[in-house]
């Protein structure tokens, strides 16, 4: 009888929290945004049991695109590679045992042919030997009981090293039983991978749902090694897109933009001539180098839009929904200066975003006294 590990409530909660973060923090992107990763070693460990037929077909249908994108990622400046060793691929399949089809090699056509010939079938019980397949790849293991073929070609120092693990099942070792040792092996080998500079990215295909907490186990695997965790559709749709997304970001999780240093392009408006002035948001950064799109989401001020002594022009703000705010250079002659609150969001196009607010002031006069902020009380875009 197939058995499953029973998690403690604390352990399951911790793993689920990890999974929740990485399941939503990263989404597949298109090849046009491909980064230059440098020389790459990429191994794919694929669950080829009967339930994985949809995912396998999805990958096979996009194999030329996957190979092309990997070559572009590893080639000089993101162009198709010109050096024979810029890209090496490896291929492993697993059920309750592990089969090494190719250790890391520059024979890309041979690896592509082997993946294309993969047929889903078998798998006596629900757990599969994903933990042992990963162990084989990360630790460069030669053939052993439960494993056919050698994977003893070392990963290259200085290359971007990625293992992509694709499965719908929890780890079961070679005995078709998920026990604490299998879960521990998944984590421990991920720690080893991180130390070796190998990023493990896990693709979860929920063909029967998350019936044994496997999503959290896979998410922990990716997080621990510095890779990414992606969930596909239950029928396997999106598996190829997941591989493309992993390659595109060089196997790393997408970092959200940083809005903490945001500043207005113009911080102080003078003279108060009642004219509209353009203000953009500066200082938003992205650690991945992604192009960030900034959108103005709101403009408020601490004085009425049409109050005493301000020139009787309104509304005083425009540009919500665009990348540029327009605010009126005016303040009440009887007040203490005006402060505009410009709210914005920043999106990196990869599922990451941040929000922020910058202040633009119109001082009462040129005495040097700063405008006093009374708060975001009035919508500048309403007359």
Q: What is the pLDDT of residues 334-359, one digit of tens each?
A: 999 999 999 999 999 877 899 999 99
The stretch 82-100 carries a mean pLDDT of 88
Picking from 303, 351, 356, the residue whose alpha carbon sits closest to that of residue 328 is 303
Residue 17 pLDDT: 39
Least confident of 83-92, 197-206, 279-288, 362-371: 83-92
Residue 28 pLDDT: 41
The stretch 201-219 carries a mean pLDDT of 94
Q: At what angle do helices 239-248 and 53-61 cross, to 10 degrees?
A: 50
CA distances from 102 to 84, 93, 157, 297 (A): 17, 10, 20, 52
Please name each of the domains of the chain with its CATH number: 9-248 (3.40.50.410), 263-379 (2.60.40)
Distance in angstroms (rounded) separating the CA atoms of residues 88 and 90: 7
Contact 137, 101 (CB under 8 A): no
pLDDT tens per residue across span 139-159: 999 999 999 999 999 999 999
Contact 263, 326 (CB under 8 A): no
Question: pTM to 2 decimals?
Answer: 0.69
Q: What is the mean pLDDT of the chain?
A: 88
Which of the four pLDDT bands, split at 50, 70 and 90, describes residue 34? Answer: low
The stretch 14-33 carries a mean pLDDT of 41
Token pair, residue 168, equals 């719908």
Residue 98 pLDDT: 98
The stretch 245-274 carries a mean pLDDT of 93
């Amino acid at each position: 009888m197939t058995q499953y590990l029973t998690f403690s409530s604390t352990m399951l909660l911790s793993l689920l929290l990890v999974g929740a973060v990485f399941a939503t923090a990263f989404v597949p992107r298109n090849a046009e945004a491909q980064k230059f990763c440098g020389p790459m070693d990429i191994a794919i460990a694929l669950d080829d049991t009967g339930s994985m037929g949809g995912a396998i077909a999805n990958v096979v249908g996009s194999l030329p695109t996957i190979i092309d994108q990997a070559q572009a990622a590893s080639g000089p400046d993101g162009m198709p590679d010109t050096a024979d060793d810029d890209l090496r691929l490896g291929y492993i399949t697993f059920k309750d045992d592990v089969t090494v089809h190719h250790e890391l090699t520059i024979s890309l056509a041979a690896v592509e042919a082997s993946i294309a010939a993969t047929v889903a079938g078998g798998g006596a019980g629900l757990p599969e030997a994903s933990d042992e397949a990963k162990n084989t790849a990360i630790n460069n293991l030669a053939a052993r009981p439960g494993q056919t073929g050698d994977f003893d070609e070392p990963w290259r120092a200085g290359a971007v090293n990625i293992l992509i693990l694709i499965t719908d099942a929890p780890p079961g070792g070679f005995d078709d039983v998920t026990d604490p040792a299998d879960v521990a092996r998944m984590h421990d080998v991920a720690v080893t991978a991180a130390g070796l500079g190998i990023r493990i990215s896990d693709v979860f295909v929920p063909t029967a749902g998350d019936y044994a907490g496997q999503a959290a186990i896979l998410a922990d695997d990716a997080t621990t090694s510095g890779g990414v965790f992606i969930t596909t559709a239950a029928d396997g749709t999106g598996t190829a897109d997941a591989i493309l997304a992993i390659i595109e970001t060089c196997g790393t999780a997408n970092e959200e933009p940083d809005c903490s240093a945001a500043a207005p392009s113009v911080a102080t408006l003078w003279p108060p001539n009642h004219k509209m002035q353009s203000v953009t948001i500066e200082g938003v950064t992205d650690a991945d180098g992604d192009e960030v799109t900034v959108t103005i989401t709101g403009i408020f001020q601490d004085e009425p839009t049409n109050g005493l002594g301000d020139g009787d022009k309104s509304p005083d703000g425009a540009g919500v929904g665009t990348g540029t705010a327009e605010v009126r250079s005016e303040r009440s002659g009887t007040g203490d200066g005006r402060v505009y609150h410009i709210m914005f969001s920043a999106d990196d196009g990869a599922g990451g975003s941040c929000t922020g607010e910058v202040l633009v002031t119109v001082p009462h006069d040129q005495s040097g006294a700063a405008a006093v902020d009374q708060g975001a009380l009035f919508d500048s875009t309403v007359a």
